[in-house]
Structure 1
Amino acid sequence: MLAIEALTRRFGDFTAVDRVDLTIPTGQMVAVIGRSGAGKSTLLRMIDRLIEPSEGRIRFEDRDITALKGASLRHWRRDCAMVFQQFALVDRLDVLTNVLMGRLDHTPVWRSLLKLWTGDDKAIALSALELFDIGSLAANRAGALSGGQQQRVAIARALVQEPRMILADEPIASLDPRNTQLVMDALLRVNRDFGITVLTNLHSIELAKRYCDRLIGMKAGRIVFDGTPAELTDAAVTELYGLEAADVIEIPSAADPTPDEIRAAWDAARAREPV
């Protein structure tokens, strides 16, 4: 379980995150929503310790994350994998090598520097690529892939870290609708099949409601909504987004599946897979 207590981040006179209290049980898929500048990305980056909190504490089970340094902090970043909006791949390297970078904390430094990956590491990386239907791209240069393919490679790299949690910071912001669905399906699969907690920032209200168990609404650095997709009314969206509310409230078509239908489909698919 992740527990955040009075977490605050100031940049000079500006408070980006203001005394946030939040508890996320293991295995939830949670979306953080709100206007640009609400503090969503700062919150995620503090959890991964890419940004240092000004005040407050982050705990994960029996670890005080805010106190970690050195090797202990590296181990936390292995357990709490980060997926970025701009993919953070090495364009000139092939896809398989990019995914293998997620094994660095499981591999001696000398072996990784010489690219002497074990057969087990390669098998784990290839399995992750196959899981997201991009195994055939393993030998391709990462920079030659589409945005959606690169983001799925980034998710595969996060998965081979063997994390307890994945933080996805605006993972679909630059993607077209088809690749958006593929990436959100990939995150849902990580959550449903492996029980990994997923905490993601999303601009699309409908995608957040469709894919996530819980929504956290932020405004001016504070949490002003915390509930299920069904509890997020148009009035709550208007409170979060103000004049921008009409831009983020999408009208789903009759063919769009509901959140319960998506989760039921995943459960049915898992039940049909051979043991």
Structure 2
Amino acid sequence: MSKRFGDKFAVADVSLEISTGGFIGIIGRSGAGKSTLLRMINRLAEPSAGRILADGNDVTRLSGRRLYRWRADCAMIFQQFNLVGRLDVLTNVLLGRLQRTPNWRSMLKLWTHEEKAIALSALDQFDIAQIAAQRADSLSGGQQQRVAIARALVQEPRIILADEPIASLDPRNTKTVMDALLRINKHYGITVLCNLHSLDVARCYCDRLVGMAGGRVVFDGSPECLTDHVARDLYGLEADEVMDAELPADVPAGLAVPA
């Protein structure tokens, strides 16, 4: 699978097979093609060449209602949270139900008691149910990202695509957010693909690492196989920065897409 912008390839001939239930870290320098790869999986970016297969179906050929359903199955979590600041936390989480709710009801914000209960339960799992009535723009960065993760969870996805979810967070909030993603992965069996800049965080949380450089996959294996020597080849001058990042405390040990 490839993505080309003019004469430049953002992603070049990437071929991956993703098993259901994995926690995969996509690592590499800025501009390596990590974000473009995730956006192609749920068709926010259209591949220039190649195919994405799921359940034997060609995702790159989906349109209309079938594409809508695929995007419901692939929840995105962004670096900048993408919350509606003027709305309260509970409503922001309920927006994750839009693709599972009739259009007329979602436009009128006629959420059912069951949907509200699902949203509150998701917030409670991440210890933020008590802020359900607060405006989203009044929250800290760590709180906003947990709200974004709760919104993704109520979407009932098969896959979560997290694009640099901890890039703007301090070590304490980094641990909180990564713990939340790991909980979703282990408790619900939801596959997580997570772009990460910090190599140490990736090694601690992910069970598989995919290293990208210049739009190509240059490493694919377990965290234990990613030696410091390989990491320095992957990151070049940035190696010391990503390998010396402050780790959160008490972390766990540690392209066909899943059905």
TM-score range normalised by the length of the shorter chain: over 0.9
The answer for the alignment partner of 1:30 in structure 2 is 24
Deviation of the 1:112 alpha carbon: 1.0
Residues 212, 259 of structure 1: 8 Å contact kept: no
Structure 1 residues 177-212: Cα deviation after superposition (integer angstroms, max 9, x where no partner):
111111000000000000000000000001000000
**From 205, 208, 212, the counterpart of 1:218:** 212
**2:198 counterpart of 1:176:** no
Q: Distance in 1 between matches of 2:50 and 2:101?
A: 33
Higher-strand-fraction structure: 1
TM-score by length of 2: 0.95
Matches within 5 A, 1:189-200: 189-200=183-194
The answer for the alignment partner of 2:243 in structure 1 is 249
The answer for the alignment partner of 1:128 in structure 2 is 122
Give the residue type in structure 2 aligned to 1:202. Answer: L
Q: 1:39 to 1:114 in 2, by over 3 A?
A: same
Structure 1 residues 18-68: Cα deviation after superposition (integer angstroms, max 9, x where no partner):
000000100000000000010000000001100000000001123211011
Deviation of the 1:252 alpha carbon: 7.4
**From 147, 158, 166, the counterpart of 1:164:** 158
CA RMSD of aligned residues (A): 1.3
Q: 1:240 to 1:142 in 2, by over 3 A?
A: same
Gap regions ≥5 residues in structure 2: 255-259
Runs of 4+ with deviation above 4 angstroms: 255-258
TM-score by length of 1: 0.90
Gap regions ≥5 residues in structure 1: 1-6, 261-275
User: Which range moves more in the overlay, 243-252 or 122-131?
Assistant: 243-252
The answer for the alignment partner of 1:271 in structure 2 is none
The answer for the alignment partner of 2:113 in structure 1 is 119
Residues 100, 125 of structure 1: 8 Å contact kept: yes
User: Which range moves more in the overlay, 158-167 or 101-110?
Assistant: 101-110
Q: Distance in 2 between matches of 1:128 and 1:31?
A: 24
Aligned length: 253
**2:205 counterpart of 1:205:** no
Q: 1:94 to 1:251 in 2, by over 3 A?
A: closer
